[in-house]
Structure 1
Amino acid sequence: MQPKCICFFNSNKAWGGGEKWHFENALLARDKGYRVCVVANRVSALADRLDVQPGIDVLRLNIHNLTFLNPLKLMRLVCFFRKHAVNAVLMALPSDMKAGGIAAKLAGVRDIIYRRGIAVPVRNSALNRLLFRHVLTKLIVNSLNTRDCVLAENKRLIDPERIHLVFCGFNVAAYDALPVHTIFERRPGEILIGNAARLTPQKGQKLLIDIAALLKEQPIPFRILIAGIGELEKELKAYAIDRGVEDVVQFLGFVSDMKSFHETIDIFALTSLWEGFGLAQVEAMESRRPVVTWNVSSMPEVVIDGETGYLCPSQDTEAFAARLLALMQDEALRKRLGENGRARVISHFEMQKTFADLEHCLQA
């Protein structure tokens, strides 16, 4: 009897967290003996990386929001699913759910699964009700907060028993094996606070600059290192000057070596207004760095207040600064919370554990 075939369906063109999830789990599935195929867009960073991987057949097809109305493309997908005898299809985007879900239904695929990785409500439209109730067999969410957002406009959009929680996985062994390089010179006695995220309104770096202004009133030397690029770069740099903290807030631009970044800093500060999961927190915790963030969205599912870091009332910059200050003043506290954070990553977010959760979903 041939092994089950899993089709990973992701038509996003750029590389991001969802593409990383599909890439890593496709390789894990292949290595565990599953047959694996992939549907991606014609222009696709995910497909580019998978093309060089042995044992994975990639179909490149232009997919957009109205592709589900194109019978020729639907039939091409149906033929692809039947050719590979696909048992389960895992879809990434709403456009994938429409085109891929309907084609999988026509092809007789047993499991038609939508993975939701963003904590944004699903519109309570007639089409979504049809898809969630009569096309999808299961829904995977990356956090309980994402689940709640999916159901925000319609609690009965999908049977709760068909919703499966699968956290984003983290390859601890591969991360540990990476070398560490000096990417920033520390001044004598200073504490380094890190933030890694796109420079966008959602990521809340403007609040971090306000926090820097509060910390600057204290006698402890520090600098905040912000890794990332984005639409607000010029605005944030100007705001740092306006607040008089340009000497303690350093914009590093795009940083490819995130392990060296996390090994360089002492504390990780995540000021995002919301996150579907927040992989940056997990990377920091794996490097034994305590995390300070807001008590919103999925943050409490990752950070345990007082054990692996601190959760602060949303956008309360004074509370956030106070938590950072407590960690800046106490090296033993930083070490204890950091060790707890790494232990939590291994017990909850290690990739073999999360892939086992995915397998459980496929077998349910």
Structure 2
Amino acid sequence: MALIEGLNAALTLELPRIVFYCDYFPIYQFVTGRWNPKQRKIEALVDQVTQLREKFTYCIPSLVARNDVKFAFKLAREAIVSQVNRSTDTSAEGSLYETCVICFEEMSIDEIFSVDGCMHRFCYSCMKQHVEVKMLHGMVPKCPHEGCDCELKVDSCSKFLTPKLVEIMKQRKKEASIPVTEKVYCPYPKCSALMSKGEVSEYSRSSAIDVGRSGSRKCIKCNGLFCIDCKVPWHDNMTCFAYKKKYPNPPGEDLKLKTLAQRNMWRQCVKCNHMIELAAGCYHMTCRCGYEFCYTCGAEWKEKKATCSCPLWDDGHIIYDSDEEFDEEFDEDSEDEDYYESDSDDYY
């Protein structure tokens, strides 16, 4: 849409020859005809770009690295911020209005959210979409302003989030607060509560469980006993080795899950064994335990770099087919769903 607006502006200025630069690879592939859009909305936008390009005597796209045009983004954002308007509209009974720097809509200041700490301001609608997308991919939401690392507070975000999304945000913050090596998940399917090793050990001691001599622990949520070493329900009077030898095959429910996973091409994290489904984005996956791997072959990612030669993404997973598809991601119980992130926010 920004490209279409730019092309229309160039036509208004009667510029016959132009080169427009793309720092986003998928858009460059679309406008050059190398990729065919699978979504109707994107196809309509690409067709509109094609029609506008035909009105120029010379109109060529050029692909550039985002780092090479950082200065342009900086100038654009400064121009956007300069357009913020807090003047009084006397025709609207003295109400104050402000332009959201994300959607450019003029909103009543009652619908503008101010981020605690940095005081950057955005409308409730844009903030809600921003927070939803971040949480959908297992990330702790931060201020949308470029380069700002100020984390959003749950209490403040409750102004524009539903109670269910508030609970998901609390879960995301808890996941981020526990180091990867300290994370423990309850093995009982109906619970799956997240705990830290220290937290679960302290709770088990208060419940008169000898945590020093055995691997027995008690879940802080469902009170179910489980083994901290092999991450299964507690096997009384049996070592972990003996338990695995006696029960080499997974339970019936696990077999059904694995069959379903094979049918839907889900992947299982080799570190924590949680099942993962790629909803959208690239094939660089980050499990909720922190383990990073390639969704295609399972190879580990090290220092944000792939150790395999698989393609980074597929066009069909980059952009949602419809708004409803995005909304459905939050229809399931948040405790039973795992959300994962790509290495680049640009793909969402």
TM norm. shorter chain > 0.5? no
Greater length-normalized contact order (CA 8 Å, ≥ 6 residues apart): 1
TM-score for both structures, normalised by structure 1: 0.26
- The structure having more radius of gyration, on CA atoms, is 2
Structure with greater helix percent: 1
TM-score for both structures, normalised by structure 2: 0.27
